[in-house]
Structure 1
Amino acid sequence: MELKDKVIVITGGGRGLGRAMALQVAAKGAKLALVDLDQQGLDETIGLCMELGTEARGYIANIAEEDAVTELFNDIAEDFGAIHGLVNNAGITRDGLFIKVKDGKVVSKMSLDNWNLVMDVNLTGTFLCGREAAIKMIELGCEGCIINISSISRNGNMGQTNYTATKAGVQAMAVTWAKELARYSIRAASIAPGYIGTEMVMSMKPEALEKIAAGIPAKRLGKPEEIASTVAFILENDYVNGRCIEVDGALRI
């Protein structure tokens, strides 16, 4: 896909990885529809994209709500007249042990609320956005690409039963969509980042960051721009379909 003048939707586009992705594809001439719950963050990202000479618009929407997502993609289609790409980047964590035991007694357990919250945003939100984007691509006659942001945690990570389940799920959905949507000239793929130096991660204590970096063969955290360039690669390469690209500095081999 030639990105110039293509309409790319990015959820969680107000900051972090979403902002880096937006700037990467904006620099290639793509038009941006950025989705978030943070108006200030959206405004900042939009301003940065417009400085690169492209069109960008922001949309406030809760991707876990079906009606909100349907309205969101209706609005984007009306505003831009096309949708060529979607990056399902929005996600949350609510980490905690499955069960916590002390002196042979269970003292706490992962709450159903924290399970459901992560499921609603990471898994249901990705499903809803992917579905509505595909519908609009087909209705508008657009060849397109959907990218789900998974994680190397999809293989299982202590303290993340809820998160790992969603990240395994979004990868599997991308494989399924690739098979189902190819007949409509719509591709789907996923990216599994390792530890990336977003604002949230870099706010951790220096000693914690040093310990994390020491365990990565590359001996450093990834840069948001390195995930963003992977997004651009998938969008631009029309023969990448149904695959998950791991970008983790060889943390998981």
Structure 2
Amino acid sequence: MGTSNKSKKDVECHASEVSLQLSMSVVEGQSILADLLLSGTSTPKTLTVASSPLFGPVVDGVTKVDLCSAEEVNKALDTALKAADVHVRSNSLECTSSTLIVANAIVKIVQGDDVFVASLFASVAQHMHPYLAVIDKEATAPRLLFSHAFGGPCSTLVMAVVEKTVHQDITVETLNGQRIIAHIRTSGTRSGSVKDFVKYAKVSLTKANESAAKTTNSKEKAHM
């Protein structure tokens, strides 16, 4: 019997000590304008964010590709960025000052009898508007997507590029936005150990059950 390409890929990544899952999309407020790794026509849809205690929030409902080498990662990134360029140049996307190109990468590292999971969340925008909208808690902003980057368990880096030809007002807005984000405190990053997470979950569940039992007993005694 033959083996499909997908099955071969799964075997290769399973045997590898390090693998990465990548997704890239164009996000505008509460909408996904384009799935940049989809091999076909991408249509706009409502933004859905999935979140994990191990690797944080990611854009859900878009194409995710499993990659096992640096060459594969570079190829996928080139494909996605070319797709974004085509969309923008053809005006097929109604891009505004709030449009973001978002990349989610989930890294899995196998070490002995444990698996470590980490993630990289990167976004690019032409303006600071979408980031400030998240900080200001605007209703249409993709706040859940930035819940770790702005105050969560992660390390956040903000890089602003200002061209000489840009108007002074935009330059000031960009640098002020960068300063605001830089002053947001984030909590310590987690180890990403699946084994440690399972242990923590079991202990937390046991404590929660014990606390619930004590509360129930106290209420029963109060009614006696």
Q: Same fold (TM over 0.5)?
A: no
Q: TM-score, normalised by structure 1?
A: 0.30
Greater strand share, 1 or 2?
2
Instruction: Flag the structure with higher helix content.
Output: 1
TM-score by structure 2 length? 0.32
